[in-house]
């Protein structure tokens, strides 16, 4: 009876899910080419961990890698150790942190835009009391966009350092 092994794969490496198979992008470049492996959908589980999938594979599983560039028809068979080396080279903490930060920024922007829309609706229903007008001016979308762009720039500098 074959023994089974598992590997956790970050969601950002899932390129395509056809329903029958999943294309997993390898995180590290081999020969300056982006490579991917197709695995049957039934081998991939959704664990409780946020942003990750669990790939369950039999001990003798063959990882058939192909370039993501469809014009390149080269193929390789990678060993389990090759695959583990690829995924162990990635710092998942930084990726999780960046995804959490992106989600926070998106929610923040939606909340501020919703608040501004609410103020504009109040203004149209009740006339324009000075306090509401001042609040609308304070919640200027252009300022928010500049604020969010500054957060993005700071985030990119931080993750590159």
Domain ranges of the chain: 4-89, 93-160
pLDDT over 90 (residue 129)? no
pLDDT for res 20: 93
How many CB atoms are located within 10 Å of the residue 36 CB? 19
pLDDT for res 1: 63
pLDDT over 70 (residue 137)? no
pLDDT for res 112: 73
pLDDT for res 51: 72
Place of tokens 């003798």: 60
pLDDT over 60 (residue 92)? no
User: In which order are the strands placed within the sheet that holds 76-78?
Assistant: 14-17, 21-25, 35-40, 63-67, 76-78
- Residues 24, 9 contacting (CB under 8 angstroms): yes
Q: Which of 17-21, 27-31, 126-130, 155-159 has the highest mean pLDDT?
A: 17-21
pLDDT for res 114: 77
Find, among 62, 65, 59, 58, the residue nearest to 42 by Cα: 58
How far apart, in whole angstroms, are the C-alpha atoms of residue 95 and residue 10?
9
Measured between its terminal Cα atoms, the distance across the chain in Å is 47
pLDDT over 70 (residue 141)? no
pLDDT digits (tens, 9 = 90+) for 13-51: 888 889 899 999 887 655 667 888 899 999 998 876 667
């Amino acid at each position: 009876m074959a023994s089974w092994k598992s590997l956790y794969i970050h969601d950002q490496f899932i390129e395509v899910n056809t329903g029958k198979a999943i294309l997993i992008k390898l995180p590290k470049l081999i020969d300056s080419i982006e490579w991917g492996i197709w695995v049957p959908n039934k081998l991939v589980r959704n664990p409780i961990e946020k942003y990750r999938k669990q790939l369950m594979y039999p001990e003798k599983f063959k990882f058939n890698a192909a370039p993501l560039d469809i014009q390149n028809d080269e193929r390789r068979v990678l060993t389990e150790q090759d695959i583990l080396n690829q995924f162990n080279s990635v710092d998942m903490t930084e990726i999780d942190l960046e995804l959490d930060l992106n989600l926070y920024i998106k929610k923040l922007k939606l909340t501020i835009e919703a608040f501004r829309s609410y103020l504009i609706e109040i203004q149209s229903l009740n006339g324009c009391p000075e306090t509401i007008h001042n609040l609308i001016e304070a919640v200027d979308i252009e300022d928010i966009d500049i604020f969010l762009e500054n957060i993005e720039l700071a985030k990119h500098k931080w993750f590159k350092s």
